[in-house]
Amino acid sequence: MTDREAPDQRTELWGRRVQYESAGLDVGDVDLDPVAQWHQWHDDALGGGVAEPNAMTLATIGADGVPDARIVLVRTVDQFGVVFYTNYDGAKSRQLDAAPVASAVFSWLDLNRQVRLRAHVERVTDAESDAYFASRPRSSQLGAWASPQSNEIQDRSVLEERVIAFDERFADGEVPRPTYWGGWRLIPFEWEFWQGRPSRLHDRLHYRSSSAAAVHRMRSPVLRAEGRGCGHDESAGGRRRADRARGGRRISAS
């Protein structure tokens, strides 16, 4: 159906507008370390009842040069990067092998927030993948064996039969990690924290760095329009917060 055939729906979307009444985001209010800042916002999202707060939309580069995006769940965010797990034979892994860069977005819409990042990407070590795989429920472990990711299957019954077959194969003990399943680490060189504010005067805080001691600066459209958007890397509040315990934490959600 074209736009011309659905005027009512289009008009409804044009008129839908929510006022964001959230508190502001200023360089003095945030942590100098984007990882610590991410954990602060992730905790807020968790506490605020946001569904799947560790979900991020991951964009990779397709073989045709066109971005390809999908949701994954991150399992670790620390000073070494942002880790998710997947099938190494799937489309996104093949794309990351060919072009080891990615962009990702965390959307915490209930809090009027998003976090964007751009990153270099690498596979995590086998030991890391083994440790995470061992922590998964047996049903998820069997799912990793059974699911031929990104390949077409005839119908769902094929998957279910494969789960039963692998369950029998590993009936006597632990389910080992398939060699084609493991983690990817995004190593961000850019982060942006976005806080929705009233009247579309949103706050954007930008970190550009390859190290934990991030340089950050405001990128509010308003501040920029007034010529006040400027580089900034040290504020009293920021320094205090930066002095607090840093470092990564595991995401506890399964």
Catalytic annotation, pick one of 10, 70, 200, 240: 200
Q: Write down the H helix ranges in the chain.
A: 7-15, 34-47, 91-98, 126-135, 138-146, 156-169, 221-225, 236-243
Tell me how far, at minimum, the Cβ of 125 lies from ligand FMN, in Å: 18
Q: Which of 200, 202, 203, 197 is nearest to 20 (CA)?
A: 197
> Is-contact 120 187, C-beta < 8 A?
yes
> Is-contact 115 41, C-beta < 8 A?
yes
Residue 136 annotated among the catalytic residues of the structure: no
* Separation of alpha carbons 235 and 225, rounded Å: 22
Say which DSSP state 210 is in: S
Tell me how far, at minimum, the Cβ of 159 lies from ligand FMN, in Å: 14
Strands 203-208 and 181-195 turn out to be antiparallel
Q: Which residue has its beta carbon closest to ligand FMN?
A: 86
Tell me how far, at minimum, the Cβ of 58 lies from ligand FMN, in Å: 8
| Apex 54 CA angle, 52 and 59, nearest 5 | 105
Tell me how far, at minimum, the Cβ of 63 lies from ligand FMN, in Å: 12
* Separation of alpha carbons 80 and 78, rounded Å: 5
Strands 67-78 and 81-87 turn out to be antiparallel
Tell me how far, at minimum, the Cβ of 124 lies from ligand FMN, in Å: 13
DSSP string, 127-162: HHHHHHHHHS-HHHHHHHHH--TTS--S-HHHHHHH
Binding site for ligand FMN (CB under 6 A): 52, 55, 68, 70-73, 84-86, 90-92, 149-150
* Separation of alpha carbons 65 and 225, rounded Å: 33
Annotated catalytic sites, by residue? 200
